[in-house]
Chain A
Amino acid sequence: MTLPRRTHPRPLDIAHGRVDLTHGGGGRAMAQLVEELFVAAFDNEALNQRNDQAAFDVPGGRMVMTTDGYVISPLFFPGGDIGSLSVHGTVNDVAMAGARPISLSAGFIIEEGFPLADLARIVASMARASKEAGVPVVTGDTKVVEKGKGDGIFITTAGIGLVPPGVDIGGDKARPGDAILISGTMGDHGVAVMSQRESLGFETSIVSDSAALHTLVAAMVAAVPGIHVLRDPTRGGLAATLNEIATQAGVGMLIDETAVPVRPEVRGACELLGLDPLYVANEGKLICICAEADAERLLAVMRAHPLGANAARIGECRNDSHHFVQMKTGMGGMRVVDWLAGEQLPRIC
């Protein structure tokens, strides 16, 4: 008698199957899910060691580490899905220290009954994003929760990266007189996600800007190692992120409304929904604060990169003990650009 060659006589029924509690139970079903879906998709040396942790060598230097949970609804949206988002978002958080991302981990919390086809689609998209970014998912975890205890799928990714020598970027480094640059149009991601909400029911050609920004950052850091601040304006949009930095660095800011690039479609959708594009999330844009003398050089480098083609200089940091972020409006008046009060919209990342 010959033993079956495979541990699992029948492959996962990805087309019709659903996740059940055994897929998180630590038994054979879970091993099969990990093997046929996750390991197959992410395929890399560290993961293929099949240990509870990934072991790999790193060069010496200053490391950064970050983690982020992804709970977006809907899971699939124009320009991406929760899988690609969970790679881009964490790669970007690493990159915003000026660091080169090295590897990622991925934790999945899946609700019982979730279609395997959707899971496979998400994992494939995640694997594609990770390969494109050149940042492997080296370790992971899978949990299944009872029906009603989750909302389809939640993903947590963590990332580590290495900061090049001489680079010291942080939110507290902004100084009065610094220039404020952004890498492109504001609000694309939030509007793309909202357009998919059943209750809103409008059609748009806008796609999410979800993208990994580390190659753009690498080019910027190579040109100007002394960049003061990098940050991606995700939840709360440009407004929240500028306020965070202003508070952290103890400066005020003055931006020019007419200098902030916003796509006409995004502006239109925001008009319809009563939103302000400055508060709408982005997933493939960054804010850069640098010494005035470096601003033009950085802008040129950003515009030469495909993810920075619409880069613009939008304002400057100032002395202000109230740490106000102020804006000169297109009308010529002045206003505060405040933190977002409450939630502009639920779960967009």
Chain B
Amino acid sequence: MKYIDEFRDGEVARSIAQAIAAEADPLRSYHIMEFCGGHTHAISRYGLEDLLPANVRMIHGPGCPVCVLPVGRIDAAIWLAGQEGVTLCTYGDMLRVPGSKRLSLLKAKAEGRDIRMVYSTLDALKLAQSMPERQVVFFAIGFETTTPPTAVAIKQAQALGITNFSVFCNHVLTPSAITQILDSPEVRDLGTVKLDAFIGPAHVSTIIGSRPYEYFAEEYQRPVVIAGFEPLDVMQAVRMLVRQINEGRFEVENEFSRAVTRDGNEKAKSLVAEMFELRRVFEWRGLGLVPYSALRLKEPYAAWDAERRWDVPQDSPPDNKACECGAILRGVKKPMDCKLFGTVCTPESPMGSCMVSAEGACAAHWTYGRFRDVEPEDSHA
């Protein structure tokens, strides 16, 4: 596959790995957080940790849109699906995320609620057109990447006069989450979480560009390298970060220059700016209440806002007490530190959100990396 195979070349990976090993200072350690679930998945799926020296450690960040949605918002979606005449549409992964009382959209569907999996916002819009007697609500989630498609669907609904379509908006913002992590006591004061550098998001940055990261690279003195989701992208980003740390620089560098510019996608940004406004505060799983970290529709688009059309409950029930998703999302704990991991919480029956999406730190470790947790046996026969 052209444009893909080039970024999965094992030979090149080994040569970058050698360069990292040569450049990494054996007298210090390097703690690099990959913000995005896409990177977490690539690291686990391709076994990249095996290619890094022992003093270069990856910390999985909160950039998995399914994982950061709090229980209350899942409950609200289930509540919406239970309203008279409502058909709720969402992306596949959301169906299995547990809400409170061990409910999930998948279980609500089995109980008879009309809940559909769609591949795009436009599929949800088409569904609304095909059944005018139903109210079709799109459960919109995700970072800056998925916000423009939601905006386009609403624009189309407006243009076509479709009134039985609305959006339950849960779009969140990457830079505010990174700032929240850097401001957390574990990182700032206690130093329990060592965080030397960030691999910046791939797809999110195609929209917002590299400029928004410049503030915290400077302010918090942490280098950032924006990288694509292919394994060689990740390896190259690690090498660039090791070099920045060695040289005492804290700049925003762009490894993903084949898709990301400094200013991003102006058209998408202006569409989002026209239609959405910042929420004063929004709850994130693991990060708690984060100021100005999420979007809602502006007043002129209120007709397509499910939260204005229905009196959606705004409760925030706590996570399962034993579930460590919160600490894992902040990089404070590892999946293995959670008592539920692999015992009662597995991808087949997730207790916490990190075990649901393939991009979640727990699911990625369970699915691809759990052999690392056991003593190696005499391997070959």
Measured CB to CB, the residues of A under 8 A from B are: 175-177, 199-200, 252, 254, 258, 264, 267-268, 271, 316-322, 324, 326, 328-336, 338, 341-342
Q: Which residues of chain B from 32 to 87 have a CB within 8 Å of any chain A CB?
A: 44-51
Across the two chains, which residue of chain A brings its CB closest to B48? A333
A338 and B368: CB pair below 8 A? yes
Query: Can you spell out 5 A-B residue pairs with CB atoms less than 8 angstroms apart?
Result: A326-B371, A330-B10, A331-B13, A334-B371, A335-B368
Chain B residues near A331 (CB-CB < 8 A): 8, 10, 13, 46-48, 51, 231
- Known: A335-B44, A342-B96. Is A271-B1 also a contact (CB below 8 A)? yes
With contacts A176-B381, A335-B368 taken as known, whether A199 is within 8 angstroms of B46 at the C-beta atoms is: no
Q: Contact between A319 and B377 (Cβ–Cβ < 8 Å)?
A: yes
Q: Is A342 a contact partner of B371 (Cβ separation < 8 A)? A: no
Q: CA–CA, A329 to B346, complex, Å?
A: 23
User: Is A324's CB under 8 angstroms from B371's CB?
Assistant: yes
Number of A-B contacts (CB under 8 A): 91
Asked whether A338 lies within 8 Å of B367 as measured between CB atoms, the reply is yes
Does B111 sit at the interface, judged by CB under 8 A?
Answer: no
Do A268 and B46 touch across chains, with their CB atoms under 8 A apart? no
Q: Which of A254, A333, A338 gathers the greatest number of chain B CB atoms within 10 Å?
A: A333
A335 near B369: Cβ-Cβ < 8 Å: yes
A326 CA / B368 CA spacing, docked (Å): 9
State whether A336 and B119 are in contact (beta carbons under 8 Å apart), knowing that A258-B10, A319-B381 are contacts in the complex.
Answer: no
CA distance A310 to B45 in the complex (A): 25
| C-alpha gap A317/B14 in the complex (Å) | 26
Instruction: Say whether B347 faces chain A, with CB atoms less than 8 Å apart.
Output: yes
With A and B bound together, what is the CA distance between A23 and B44 in angstroms? 55
- Asked if B123 and A334 make an inter-chain contact with CB atoms under 8 angstroms apart, the answer reads no
Instruction: Please tell me if the beta carbons of B367 and A336 are within 8 angstroms of each other in the complex.
Output: yes
Dominant secondary structure at the B interface: helix
The 8 Å CB contact of B13, one of A258, A271, A332, is: A332
User: Quick check: is B348 within 8 A (CB to CB) of the other chain?
Assistant: yes
Cross-interface CB contact of B377 among A320, A329, A332, cutoff 8 Å = A320
| Cβ-defined partner of A342 (8 Å) among B14, B348, B368 | B348
Contacting residues, chain A, for B377 (C-beta < 8 A): 319-321
14 additional contacts, CB 8 Å, given A177-B381, A318-B381, A334-B371? A175-B381, A199-B123, A258-B10, A264-B1, A268-B1, A318-B379, A322-B374, A329-B10, A330-B46, A331-B10, A331-B51, A333-B47, A341-B348, A341-B367
* 9 smallest beta-carbon distances between A and B, as pairs: A333-B47, A177-B381, A341-B347, A176-B381, A333-B50, A335-B368, A331-B46, A331-B13, A335-B47
- The residues in B between 215 and 240 inclusive whose CB is less than 8 angstroms from any CB of A are 231
Residue B380 interfacial (CB < 8 Å): yes
**Residues of chain A lying within 8 A (CB to CB) of residue B48:** 331, 333
Q: Tell me if B4 is interfacial: C-beta within 8 Å of chain A.
A: yes
The CA of A127 and the CA of B3, in the complex, are separated in Å by 45
Interface flag for B168 (CB, 8 Å):
no
At the interface, yes or no: B366 with Cβ under 8 Å from chain A?
yes
Contact status A332-B14, CB under 8 Å: yes
Chain B residue at smallest Cβ distance from A175: B381
Size category of the B interface is 35 or more
Chain A positions within 8 Å of B50 at CB level? 332-334
A324 to B370, CA, bound (A): 9
**How far does the Cβ of B306 sit from chain A's closest Cβ, in whole Å?**
22
Contact with A along B335-363 (1 / 0, CB 8 A): 00000000000111000000000000001
Write the chain B residue with the least CB distance to A254. Answer: B379
Residues of A within 8 A of B51 (CB): 331-333
Docked complex Cα distance between A327 and B269 (Å): 41
Chain A residues with CB under 8 Å of B379's CB are 252, 254, 318-320
* Shortest Cβ distance from residue B262 to the other chain A in the assembled complex, whole angstroms: 28
- Rounded to whole Å, the gap between the CB of A74 and the closest CB of chain B is 17
Q: Does A177 contact B380, Cβ atoms closer than 8 Å? A: yes
Please, how many angstroms separate the alpha-carbon atoms of A43 and B8 in the complex?
53
- A152–B6 CA distance with the chains assembled, in angstroms: 45
Closest A residue to B363 using CB positions? A341
Q: Is B311 an interface residue (CB 8 A)?
A: no
Question: Of residues B13, B14, B347, B368, which shows the largest number of chain A Cβ atoms within 10 Å of its Cβ?
Answer: B368
Interface centre among B10, B48, B369 (most CB of A within 10 A): B10
Given contacts A317-B381, A329-B47, contact A336 B96 (CB under 8 A): no
Write the nearest CB–CB distance from B232 to chain A, whole angstroms.
8
Contact yes or no, A338 B366, CB < 8 A: yes
Q: Which residues of chain B come closer than 8 Å to A326, judged between CB atoms? A: 371
* Docked pose: A254 CA to B379 CA in angstroms: 9
Are B13 and A336 within 8 A (Cβ)? no
**Chain A residues whose C-beta falls within 8 Å of the C-beta of B4 in the assembled complex:** 271
**Complex formed: what's the CA distance from A251 to B140 in Å?**
44
The smallest beta-carbon distance between B270 and chain A, in angstroms, is: 28
Interface centre among B17, B366, B371 (most CB of A within 10 A): B371
User: Given A199-B123, A338-B367: A333 and B347 within 8 A (CB)?
Assistant: no
A59 → B minimal CB distance (Å): 38
- B-side contacts of A338, CB under 8 Å: 347, 366-368
Expressed in whole angstroms, the minimum distance between the Cβ of A335 and any Cβ of chain B is 4
Given contacts A199-B123, A324-B371, contact A335 B348 (CB under 8 A): no
Set of chain B residues within 8 Å of A329, measured between Cβ atoms:
10, 45-47
Partner of B49, one of A199, A320, A333: A333
Q: How far is the CA of A336 from the CA of B350 in the complex (A)?
A: 19
Query: What residues of chain B lie closer than 8 Å to A268, measured between beta carbons?
Result: 1
B378 within 8 A of A: yes
Residues of B within 8 A of A267 (CB): 1
Q: Are B369 and A336 in contact (CB under 8 A)?
A: yes
Docked complex Cα distance between A66 and B378 (Å): 38
Residues of B within 8 A of A175 (CB): 381
Interface centre among A267, A316, A328, A334 (most CB of B within 10 A): A334
Which chain B residues lie closer than 8 Å to A341 at the CB level?
A: 346-348, 363, 367
Q: How far is the CA of A199 from the CA of B369 in the complex (A)?
A: 33
In angstroms, Cα B45 to Cα A338, docked, is: 11
Question: Which residues in A have their C-beta under 8 angstroms from that of B370?
Answer: 324, 336
B112 to chain A, nearest CB (A): 15
Which chain A residue lies CB-closest to B380?
A318
Shortest CB distance B237–A (Å) = 14
Q: Nearest Cβ distance between residue B299 and chain A, in whole angstroms? A: 33
Given the known interface contacts A177-B380, A271-B1, A318-B380, the answer about A334 and B47 at a Cβ–Cβ threshold of 8 Å is yes
